[in-house]
Amino acid sequence: MTLTLGILACDGEAEPSVTTVPPATTSTVSPTSTTADAPVVTTTVPAATTTFAPLDSLAYQQVTTLDFPVQIIPRPGAELSYVATKDGRIWAYDGETVSDSPVLDISDQVHNQGERGLLSIVVHPDDGARLFAHYSANDGDTVVSEFAMVDHATADAESERILLRLDQPASNHNGGMIQFLPDGRLLIGLGDGGGANDRFGNGQNRETLLGGLVALQVDDDPAPILYSYGLRNPWRFWIDEETLYVADVGQNAFEEVTVTPLQPDINYGWPITEGSHCFRPAEGCDTTGLTLPVVEVSHGDAGTCSISGGLVYRGEIIPELAGHYLYSDYCGGYLRSFRYQGGEAVDHTDWTSQVGVAGLVTGFGVDHDGEMYLTTSEALLKVVPVRG
C-alpha cells in the first residue's frame, strides 16, 4: 500500500494491494481496550518522596501544532529538548513552548517528499555541542551528518561534517532512526533500498549496508559497518540499557517489533519472513538462525499499515509504565504497550479507548525529563497520567 502523504508507507510504487488478515487469528497483540491488563498500583517514584494517587488512565496533552514533526529528543545536561520536523528544521522545546525560530534549518538541502526528509536527530550523550542528523539529500542519497551547536538554541548549518552518504536506489524504505550505542558508536537504521518484495536483494545481503542497522564511529574515520541485517524498513528502534527494540515496517500483512540483547550479527529475517510468517508462504521457508519478532500486528487490525515504534518508558510521572514499551501505527493511530520479560512480550495493553486515536503517528520520543511524547503529522503530544 502506498501512502502519498506519509513517510512511513509500508510499500513503494508498483506495490501489490494490501491483503487484510483477520486480527483475531493473526495478531499477537491483546485486543483488550481497557486498563484491566495494565499495572495500576500506588507507586512511590524512585529518588523522590511523593506517592502518586492510583492511575485512572492515560491522556494526550497537546503541546503545539507543527508541520510534520518526526521526533523529540533531550539535550543532555540541559533543561531543553529538540523537535525535528520532516522539512529539515529543528526546534527547541523548554517543556512548555516550542521556539519561534529553528535551532537548525537545512531545509534547502533536504528532499522532503514521500518517505524522504529529515528522519531523525540525536545529540552526543557526552557533548551537547554535537548534533547529529539523518536526512534525505536533494539527490535522494541517505546522509548522516554532524553539526556544531553554537549555543543551546543555535546550530551552525555551515559546520556540517558528513559521516555517511549512501546512494538510495528507490525513493522509499529509507529507514530513519539514529541513536548512540553505549560504546559511543552511532547506530543507524536503513531500509532495504525500496520498491517492493526486496526488489534489490539487500535484505539478506551482508555486503551492503542497506536493509540493516549500521554502526559508525563519530570521531576520526567513521568507517560504517553492518551491525545487523534482514530488515525491511526499520523506521524506529530504541536502545534500553542493554536491550534493543526494533520496529520494522512490513509489506502487505504484518508489522513487527523484535527485542534482542544489544549485540551485533542478528538476522531479522526479511525477506525470508514478514513478521513471524514466511513471506512467500506457498514456497515455505527455513527460519533457522533468524530472530523473529515478539509482537506482530496484522494489517486489518485497527487500521494498521505501518508501525511507528516506540520507546521503553523510564520517566517519573507514570511509574506504572516503567519498563513498558509503547508503540503505535501511522494509519491506526492507536496506543499500545507491552513489557519484555523472560524472552517474551507480556502485559499487552491497548490504551486507545482512554487516549483516543492520535492521528497519523510518526513516532515517539522523550524530553529532557525523560517523559514520553508522540509526534503526529501535525502535532506534538505529551502522554500524561490521569489520577483520582
Q: In this structure, what CATH number is given to the domain that contains residue 212?
A: 2.120.10.30
SS3 content of the chain, % helix, strand, coil (to 5): 5, 40, 55
Q: Name the helix (H) or strand (E) containing 373.
A: strand 372-376
Cis omega before residue 310 (within 30°)?
yes
Helix (H) or strand (E) holding 59, with range, is strand 55-65
What does the alpha-carbon distance between residue 121 and residue 146 come to, in Å, rounded to a whole number?
A: 10
What is the predicted pLDDT for the residue at 179?
A: 98
**Contact status, residue 293 vs residue 24, Cβ threshold 8 Å:** no
Burial of 282 (0-12, 13-18, 19+ CB in 10 A): exposed
> Which neighbouring-strand residues pair with 58?
385
Domain assignment of residue 303, yes or no: yes
Please report the pLDDT score of residue 320 as a whole number. Answer: 98
**7 SS3 class:** coil
Q: Is residue 8 part of a domain?
A: no
Assess if residue 204 is contained within a domain: yes
**pLDDT of the residue at 88:** 98
For residue 191, what pLDDT is reported? 98
Place of cell 485512572: 56
Return the pLDDT at 11.
56
Give a yes or no: residue 11 inside a domain: no
337 phi/psi in degrees, rounded to 5: -150, 160
**Distance linking the first and last C-alpha atoms of the chain:** 43
Domain count, the chain: 1
CA distance 59 to 351: 9
Contact 23, 31 (CB under 8 A): yes
| Residue 220 pLDDT | 87
37, part of any domain: yes
With respect to residue 5, please indicate whether it lies within any of the assigned structural domains: no
Measuring CA to CA, which residue among 110, 107, 378, 364 is closest to residue 245? 364
List the chain pLDDT tens, one digit each, 388 residues: 333 344 455 554 433 333 222 222 233 333 333 333 333 333 333 444 468 999 999 999 999 999 999 999 999 989 999 999 999 999 999 999 999 999 999 999 999 999 999 999 999 999 999 999 999 999 999 999 999 999 999 999 999 999 999 999 999 999 999 999 999 999 999 999 999 999 999 999 999 999 999 999 999 889 999 999 999 999 999 999 999 999 999 999 999 999 999 999 999 999 999 999 999 999 999 999 999 999 999 999 999 999 999 999 999 999 999 999 999 999 999 999 999 999 999 999 999 999 999 999 999 999 999 999 999 999 999 999 999 8
Cell numbers found for residue 43: 507507586
Asked if the structure places residue 61 within a domain, the reply is yes
**At 247, which helix (H) or strand (E)?**
strand 243-248
Domain span including residue 30: 23-387
**In-domain check, residue 196:** yes
Q: Report how far residue 231's alpha carbon sits from residue 271's, in angstroms, rounded to the nearest whole number.
A: 8
Contact 200, 142 (CB under 8 A): no
Residue 349 burial (10 A CB sphere; 0-12, 13-18, 19+) = buried
